[in-house]
Structure 1
Amino acid sequence: MLARKRYAGSSRKLIIAIDVGTTFSGVSYSVLDPGQIPQVCGVNRFPAQEHAGGDSKIPSILLYDKQGGMRAAGAEALQDDVMDTAIQEEWAKAEWFKLHLRPRGSDSDHELSTLPPLPPNKSVVDVFSDYLAYLFNCTRTYIQETHPAGVQFWNSVKHNIDFVLTHPNGWEGRQQSQMREAAVQAGLVPGNDEGRARVSFVTEGEASLHFCLSKGLIVEGMKNGKGVIIVDAGGGTIDLSAYARTGTDANASYTEIAPARCLFKGAIMVKRNAQAYVESHLKGSKYFDRVGDIVETFDRTTKVTFKSSKTMAYIKFGGMSDVDTEFDVRGGKLAITGTEVAKFFQPTVTSISQAVLRQRTQAKPAVSSVFLVGGFAASTYLFTQLQETLAPLGFDVCRPDSHMNKAVADGGVLYVVDHHVSSRVARFTYGTIGRRVYQKKNKEHKQRNHKTCISADGVKRVNDSFISIIHAGAQVTETQEFKQSLAELYDESDDRDRYTTVSDIQVYRGHIERPEWTDVDSDNFGTLCTVSADVTAAVRKLAPRYRPDGGCYYQFDFDVVLLFGLTELKAQLSWMDNGVQKRTPAEVIYADG
């Protein structure tokens, strides 16, 4: 276990990490007092769960009335009286809403094609915002009730709170932007630049790594310079991340060694497979209208306790008088062969195993250990099947027994207070669309003669050129800068009060190692974001240039500076002014998708 440093800040601060999961969510926090070693605390009590002695996870469910008002959330939404009212007044339920955030095109297998719809007239940001506000109120109440002089303590930190929002490995800048907007809409932070900066992000894979490190769980797996793969098995997604340790024990840091993976094969897919089977099996029986109850019982009990395809599984849903042997109903229980139940799990087991093997082929150094964490890791059958599949291939598969259902929320706090990861791997290739100077002898250029143009400086150029900034699989440190030299041409007649640069950053998600043209495998190119900055002062200092036809224009040469090594893309603009480099922050605006 690595030693944690004392907090070096000058004033008390509160860190709150919120893990909004597909089916369950959690919140952890840390009080940062100057000179003190930060400790991680969990919100272990939520409304309507006190009777069970408290729980560290809360259902990701909201109920809305016909007017669009949120009427209940979390465990409160599942209380009998609330559910009765919801049925009578036809309230809409929001569940699995997190998956509506997913990047466009990420669900290539259409696993989520039948995702429950959002409530009428509600966007995913609206629902996410309402849920964040609910969790924040629960957190405030918990801290006020459990800390000495709780109200006074809260008042001392309420204006100095930083939030960490966790998300699946597959989420990108667009999803982070939407989550930040939801945090503003929920009132967690103000909508100005200072407020938005108080919201940061970490992937579920990286959060899980920090949790494992804090518990000393993966030290053995990283001996002899080898790497580990962390499989965070959640309700909606399976997130795979590979890491290796660098440096000595006292100054150890951790580097990502393969592109992170995100699979839509979480626990809800096992539930969905079970539902399809039960509906088919009970069709025509008098118990068909009980399918919903049977599937819910399977999800709470059988799915977790199921161990072997060689034994029968039983789902209790009624009393002793409920019998129909034709449909395998005996004594209020539906009997299902272990072989059938195993089929519910098989797509997930296969997908995880294949993803682990792919990460091993991409990782340097070699990987020999796999750590299964997350709420779905509680499934004994999932764990044993991964062991049986991966052990013969040289993997040591482990399932740490240490409250792994809170790994991501705790890890979100630890990402801030420990921050062990020093470099990450680019998942895709990023660049810009440019115009190359036309070369008569270049075969690629000749093929695109119909795509040429004469630019403002009178030079013939080829359109549809892809100019790479960083390639997929590249390992990038947090402070490493990537520059793309660009030029903005302004016509003399283009008289403006304000000049801005607008540069589109492109992403390529295909399999070409060094893409050069956007008209090759064009379906896998897309706009990631737009980098924009006000450069009025710089443009007004430019000397005029003249085209061959005598026309006047101004050329602003600059570099777009990108930092890909952080958990969130950052951008700046850089240019030379009389031999002196100038810089300005740039706004990153994400495209839809």
Structure 2
Amino acid sequence: MTVRKVHSGARALVIGFDVGTTFSGVSYSILEPGQVPVIKSITRFPGQEHVSGDSKVPTAIWYDRDGMVRAEGAATTTGAYVDKAQDENWVHAKWFKLHLRPTRETPIHPLPHRKSATSVLADFLRYLFECTKTFIEQTHPNGRDLWLSLENSIQFVMAHPNGWEGKQQNQMRDAAIVAGLISTSEAEHDRLRFVTEGEASLHFCIQNGLGLDSIARGDGIVVVDAGGGTIDLSTYRMVNKSNGHREYEEISPPQCLFQGSIYVTERAKAYVAERLENSKYEADVEYIASIYDSGPKLSFDGEELASIKFGSARDHDPGLGIRSGAFKIPASDVRKFFEPSIAAVVAAVREQCISALGTRISSVFLVGGFAANDWLFSELKSRLAPLRLDLVRPDTHVNKAVADGAVSFHIDHYVSVRVARFTYGVVISEEYNKDKREHADRGAKRFRGLNGQELIPNSFNAILRRGVKVAETKVFRHHYIKRSTQLALLDHFSIDLYTYRGSGDPQWLDVEPELYEVICRIEGNTSAVRKYPIRRINVPNSEFYELDFEVVLSFGLTELKAQISWEENNVEKRGPAQILY
């Protein structure tokens, strides 16, 4: 286990949230000057008091018909609430995290009427925060006074899948504001940080001593966080700094697979629905699937058939696979439910190894709630062995890796270099050159700018290319020239930042247009930047103004940051820029 340093900063409370698709967890650490921080998990939730030491709670909410929260977390599974929900037609919100995903697939489970993903997340964050407060007050000496002394200095860390981007982070921040964790002020925004689930899992593995031998040899490691909705893959290696400090750098573009455990359940549900179609048991499909999800799926070992007890002994129809009230599924069919997830992980691990040019990958660490499934683990281990990869699981609770790792990210901050998942850039107009074929082919679109130049629109100017390693301190600059005949129009600027999600060399928006996407708009106040009056040559009364500055982008952090930069008396000046999603 890695030894953590003594805390040298101010006294504070760090809370890490892992809002999972099916289950969630919270971890925290009280930072005391001069003491070594200790990470603890919340292990008691309302409705789950009878369970000892469980650090996970169902990610679910019951809403009544007026949209009011009636039950959350573990309480949603208690008999009293389930009965009342049926009697009063409450709405069950589950898997709502997936509504934030950047993909355009149809969500698996609909949101309650008139509820957005942000508002449901806000309700659940409020619940987790209250559970954290109660737990600290009840388990620490003088807990009430302790909480009061820390509640104004809380630092929050929210983990999210590797595939989440700035837009999803912005929605999560909005949810934190609605939940009352932070306020709307810019200063308060600094109290909330984001970390990918892959990076949080790395911190958990390091703190639990996983792979330290292989890392010390200079080998790379792949961390596979297998959760309810997503399976996140991240690959790292250790770097020894000249000052003796050890840091970790990402060496492959991280991946996010929508192949978590709920997709196994969905495939099982489709199987059951097909078998029971047009039978008297057709209405029981949802119930049978829910029983499979909480029982036979978890214990499947690859050999035993799945026996789903849903009825009484009088429910008997061998032709449908129903015997004595149990729906039977042969092991060969159950394996098919798991196969797409297993195959996707193996292919993704292989891709991670290929992308990590120059670094030998020797170990794969499997964490997350889905990692507890023995069939998933044994199949992955056997299929990765021919690639000379050793698959291991922590001997501690694999389902609390992300929550613990989120807090460790704030305290230990091991990762200093990350890899760009996509190519990022802006769209510009190039000066027309008839001798360039790509210009000649687009000659019909050329136009004349204010300075008299002939220009070709829709050229893609890459700022950061996919696969490039980016240090946290590294900034990327885009030189920007804006011209206008009206001086006032130059006091503000806005520019769209694009991603190119292909693997080629992007140059023009009309080539593979479906692979380009605007991820945000960057805006800033440029009233302080000097505007230069310019006259067009040989054109009388044609004065215009030119604004010359740079947009400075930080891609190496866990959240995109932007500034504007300009020179004033040969001294660089910087101002804030706002990122709008």
Give 1:83's aligned residue.
Answer: 82
Shift of 1:328: 2.9
Task: Quickly say closer, same or farther: Cα 1:454–1:285, change in 2 above 3 A.
Answer: closer
Give 1:448's aligned residue.
Answer: 442
Give 1:547's aligned residue.
Answer: 536
1:489-529 deviations in Å (ceiling 9; x for gaps): 132x4546x811212111111121x2111111111112121
Give 2:296's aligned residue.
Answer: 302
Give 1:69's aligned residue.
Answer: 68
Q: 1:510 & 1:59 partners in 2: Cα distance?
A: 37
Shift of 1:198: 1.0
2:261 corresponds to 1:267: yes
Give 1:3's aligned residue.
Answer: 3
Alpha-carbon contact 2:367-2:399 (below 8 Å) kept = yes
Give 2:199's aligned residue.
Answer: 206
Matched residue SS, 2:416 = strand
Query: Which has the higher mean CA deviation after the structures are superposed, 517-526 or 232-241?
Result: 517-526
Task: Quickly say closer, same or farther: Cα 1:288–1:446, change in 2 above 3 A.
Answer: closer
Give 2:349's aligned residue.
Answer: 356
2:119 corresponds to 1:126: yes
1:144-173 deviations in Å (ceiling 9; x for gaps): 111110110000011111110100000000
Alpha-carbon contact 1:253-1:421 (below 8 Å) kept = yes
Query: Which has the higher mean CA deviation after the structures are superposed, 469-478 or 452-461?
Result: 452-461
Q: 1:61 & 1:567 partners in 2: Cα distance?
A: 27
Q: 1:459 & 1:234 partners in 2: Cα distance?
A: 55
Residue correspondence of structure 1 range 458-477 to structure 2 within 5 A: 458-477=452-471
Alpha-carbon contact 1:184-1:196 (below 8 Å) kept = no
Q: 2:146 & 2:258 partners in 1: Cα distance?
A: 41
Task: Quickly say closer, same or farther: Cα 1:462–1:279, change in 2 above 3 A.
Answer: same
> Which amino acid in the other structure matches residue 280 of structure 1?
E
Matched residue SS, 1:209 = helix
Matched residue SS, 2:27 = strand
Shift of 1:90: 1.3
Q: 2:399 & 2:322 partners in 1: Cα distance?
A: 33
Q: 2:121 & 2:429 partners in 1: Cα distance?
A: 41
Alpha-carbon contact 2:291-2:310 (below 8 Å) kept = yes
1:177-209 deviations in Å (ceiling 9; x for gaps): 000011001100011101122111000000000
TM-score (norm 1): 0.94
2:148 corresponds to 1:148: no
Matched residue SS, 2:338 = helix
Query: Which has the higher mean CA deviation after the structures are superposed, 400-409 or 214-223?
Result: 214-223
Q: 2:250 & 2:183 partners in 1: Cα distance?
A: 33
Matched residue SS, 1:133 = helix
Give 2:502's aligned residue.
Answer: 510
Give 2:223's aligned residue.
Answer: 230
Residue correspondence of structure 1 range 418-497 to structure 2 within 5 A: 418-491=412-485, 493-495=486-488
Give 2:524's aligned residue.
Answer: 533
2:400 corresponds to 1:400: no
Shift of 1:383: 0.7
Matched residue SS, 2:251 = strand
1:246-304 deviations in Å (ceiling 9; x for gaps): 11795211110100000110000111111112222234554444333322221112111
Q: 1:556 & 1:494 partners in 2: Cα distance?
A: 10
Partner of residue 255 from structure 1, selected from 249, 265, 272: 249
Query: Which has the higher mean CA deviation after the structures are superposed, 128-137 or 386-395?
Result: 386-395
**Count of residues in Structure 1 that have an aligned counterpart in Structure 2:** 577
Give 2:552's aligned residue.
Answer: 561
Shift of 1:535: 1.5
Matched residue SS, 1:473 = coil
1:433-476 deviations in Å (ceiling 9; x for gaps): 11111122111111111121111111111111111101000000
Task: Quickly say closer, same or farther: Cα 1:340–1:489, change in 2 above 3 A.
Answer: same
Matched residue SS, 1:28 = strand
Partner of residue 390 from structure 1, selected from 372, 384, 397: 384
Alpha-carbon contact 2:487-2:545 (below 8 Å) kept = no
2:403 corresponds to 1:409: yes
Two-structure CA RMSD over aligned residues (Å): 1.6
Matched residue SS, 1:55 = coil
Task: Quickly say closer, same or farther: Cα 1:284–1:543, change in 2 above 3 A.
Answer: closer
Matched residue SS, 1:544 = strand
Give 2:304's aligned residue.
Answer: 311
Alpha-carbon contact 2:100-2:168 (below 8 Å) kept = yes
Q: 2:291 & 2:156 partners in 1: Cα distance?
A: 35
Q: 2:198 & 2:348 partners in 1: Cα distance?
A: 14
> Which amino acid in the other structure matches residue 580 of structure 1?
V
Alpha-carbon contact 2:16-2:156 (below 8 Å) kept = yes
Give 1:574's aligned residue.
Answer: 565
Matched residue SS, 2:564 = strand
Q: 1:311 & 1:132 partners in 2: Cα distance?
A: 39
Alpha-carbon contact 1:466-1:517 (below 8 Å) kept = yes
Give 1:519's aligned residue.
Answer: 510
Alpha-carbon contact 2:483-2:545 (below 8 Å) kept = yes
Shift of 1:392: 1.6
1:384-410 deviations in Å (ceiling 9; x for gaps): 111121112222111222101000000
> Which amino acid in the other structure matches residue 351 of structure 2?
R
Q: 2:328 & 2:214 partners in 1: Cα distance?
A: 41
Alpha-carbon contact 1:168-1:239 (below 8 Å) kept = yes
Alpha-carbon contact 1:18-1:26 (below 8 Å) kept = yes
Q: 2:532 & 2:257 partners in 1: Cα distance?
A: 53
Query: Which has the higher mean CA deviation after the structures are superposed, 351-360 or 220-229?
Result: 220-229
Task: Quickly say closer, same or farther: Cα 1:86–1:313, change in 2 above 3 A.
Answer: closer
Alpha-carbon contact 2:28-2:39 (below 8 Å) kept = yes
1:535-559 deviations in Å (ceiling 9; x for gaps): 1122xx4341112333222211111
Residue correspondence of structure 1 range 6-45 to structure 2 within 5 A: 6-9=6-9, 11-45=10-44
5+ long unaligned stretches in structure 1? none
Q: 2:11 & 2:275 partners in 1: Cα distance?
A: 59
Alpha-carbon contact 1:165-1:200 (below 8 Å) kept = yes
Matched residue SS, 1:120 = coil
Alpha-carbon contact 1:144-1:150 (below 8 Å) kept = yes
Alpha-carbon contact 1:245-1:252 (below 8 Å) kept = yes
Shift of 1:26: 0.3
Q: 1:522 & 1:352 partners in 2: Cα distance?
A: 29
1:327-380 deviations in Å (ceiling 9; x for gaps): 333343322211011011011011111111111111131212111110000110
Alpha-carbon contact 2:11-2:32 (below 8 Å) kept = yes
Query: Which has the higher mean CA deviation after the structures are superposed, 134-143 or 395-404?
Result: 395-404
Matched residue SS, 1:586 = strand
